[in-house]
Structure 1
Amino acid sequence: MTSSRPYAEVIGDPIAHSKSPLIHRHWLGKLGLDADYRAWRVAPGELADYLAARRDDPDWRGCNVTMPHKQAILALLDSVDPSAAAIGAVNTVGRNADGRLHGQNTDLHGIHRSLEGVRLEDAEVVLVGAGGAARPAAYALRRAGVRRLTILTRDPAKGRRLADQLFPGAEIGALASEPAGDLLVNATPLGMAGQPWPRLPLGGLAPGAMVFDMVYAPARTELLVDAHARGFRTVGGATMLLFQAAQAFATFFGKPAPIDLGDGLVEQLTA
């Protein structure tokens, strides 16, 4: 397939729910770039054929990658950023000047920007979840010098695997426990619109602690409302969503994303 102008896309199955086209088209419009960004369904078993076809399309600039392809795509790329290899997942593929396909995980950038101003070195952190979103979080926290990580999960074996791979020495606890911490990160979909939220005990957090919820819709999850009422600082998932997308945008289109938290995009994403 060819296009009349440069384009990038997000691939996955299902894919119609993705917010990526909304974000990237918003930024393309603000910059006045003659390019496009779209969603493209790639079913399991079609990934290799998809990449082969896109390699031959001179207008294709790359793609974001969502489930179920984040792990499978690593073996099909020409190079992978070391951090993405360590995490075991790629969410952005760009084409280098020589035509080679390079994979990265921009969730790391989104996490770092979301936690700007939070002292992570020697901190104690509580990470809720042990799934795909928890992997870049654990990697980022270890790289930032976090001293102690407690992973709260319903599946202790899964939590232990995550710790062994990305944060050796992390402690594993149940969702109902109250570990001490300077930061709590929710890396589960619990609390998303339509999802039940088992209220987390926040009693172990230090005064002035930060609560970071990766869920972006609704903008104010029950976790954030509870944390704010207790006097903790809070940050929602829309910040992470925008900044991870911004790194991908620069990869695809060669220009910084025009992020403006007051331009109405966040409201569209979290509605």
Structure 2
Amino acid sequence: MSAAGRAAVFGQPIGHSKSPALHRAAYAELGVDLDYWAIEAGASEAARLARMLRDEPGWRGASVTMPLKQAMVPLMDSVSERVSRLGVLNTIVASGSPGSVRLHGENTDVDGIVQALGDAGATAVRSVAILGAGGTATAATAALQLLGARQLDFVVRDAGRAADVLALAAAGGCRAEAVDAHTAGGRMHQYDAVVSTLPPHAADEFIDALGLDGLAPGTPLLDVAYDPWPSAIAAAWSAAGGSVVGGLSMLVHQAVGQVRLFTGTSEADWPHVTNVMCDAVGLPHPIR
């Protein structure tokens, strides 16, 4: 590696990831000598990845996506309060000198979701439906609580898989329920926003049951999937009169937090850096 530092995104599948384009654009704009690429790896390789970050020189950190968001947590030397509470991370910061590198876990997905919903005009919410109950739904729960949510419906096929997010929502003072798509469809007019945390195409089967005829005009949907785009649910939502923001917006905003952590840069024109990152992936600039 010719760069003074290195970072990467870990996950599986990873070939579609826009993270390398985002990070490289940010480091070039900041004048930071840091290379960034994608490494395909599953949960069974978590320990190997942690050793690599500790043993190979130059690592500043890693972005972490599925299926590693939970698997990497026990391998950290320290984690933020947020990661401790949520049990999932999306960011690893490597620091220290060779032979004594420490790994710290953070979660910038929460900030990314808050800011992406803000791009769609949802700066305060009360009642929200979340499609899915996995690691990203955990981050969405924390984000929506920051936006004032008091009622969260987790739309799942198997209510048993929602136990962790239901407990997290309740601990944050929310009423929470695991519901099927038909039940959520009957409540569609009550929701201030909907967040789909499902992987590409997984939300397709929910579209008919959700009954988007009852959607209030302008209701925001954040679909964290961004490849292919528009997703089937995003297209149906828009056709029904709702407002749509894609996962690429979330990805940009959470990546800005990672860039701050990997570079240690605090003094920068971050709105401008955000716009440069948007340009790198063909995304309109956020409205401020």
Q: TM-score range by the shorter chain?
A: 0.7 to 0.9
- Cα distance 1:60–1:137, how it changes in 2: closer, same or farther (>3 A)? same
Structure 1 SS opposite 2:212: coil
- Cα distance 1:196–1:9, how it changes in 2: closer, same or farther (>3 A)? same
- Cα distance 1:235–1:4, how it changes in 2: closer, same or farther (>3 A)? closer
Deviation string 1:102-150 (CA, Å, 9 cap, x unpaired) is 10111101101012242435x1111111122211111221233212111
Q: Give the drift of 1:94.
A: 0.7
Structure 2 SS opposite 1:133: helix
Q: Give the drift of 1:65.
A: 1.6
Say which of 140, 150, 153 aligns to 2:153.
Answer: 150
Alpha-carbon contact 1:124-1:147 (below 8 Å) kept: yes
* One-letter amino acid of the structure 2 residue matched with residue 59 of structure 1: G
Q: Give the drift of 1:67.
A: 2.9
Q: Give the drift of 1:90.
A: 1.1
Residue of structure 2 equivalent to 1:72: 71
Residue of structure 2 equivalent to 1:131: 134
Residue of structure 2 equivalent to 1:103: 105
Structure 2 SS opposite 1:69: coil
1:173 aligns with 2:173: no
Percent sequence identity over matched residues?
Answer: 35
Q: Give the drift of 1:249.
A: 1.4
Alpha-carbon contact 1:197-1:222 (below 8 Å) kept: no
Structure 2 unaligned spans of 5+: 284-288
Higher relative contact order (CA 8 A, sep 6+): 2
Residue of structure 1 equivalent to 2:286: none
Cα distance between partner residues in 1 of 2:30 and 2:105: 25
Q: Give the drift of 1:89.
A: 0.9
Q: Give the drift of 1:84.
A: 1.6
**Farther-moved stretch of structure 1 (90-99 vs 155-164):** 90-99
Residue of structure 1 equivalent to 2:227: 217
Q: What TM-score, normalized to structure 1?
A: 0.84
Say which of 238, 241, 244 aligns to 1:231.
Answer: 241
Q: Give the drift of 1:245.
A: 1.3
Alignment RMSD: 2.7
* One-letter amino acid of the structure 2 residue matched with residue 176 of structure 1: H
Say which of 227, 231, 245 aligns to 2:255.
Answer: 245
Alpha-carbon contact 2:213-2:240 (below 8 Å) kept: no
Alpha-carbon contact 1:87-1:166 (below 8 Å) kept: no
Deviation string 1:123-179 (CA, Å, 9 cap, x unpaired) is 111111112221111122123321211111111121244212334531222112321
Structure 2 SS opposite 1:21: helix
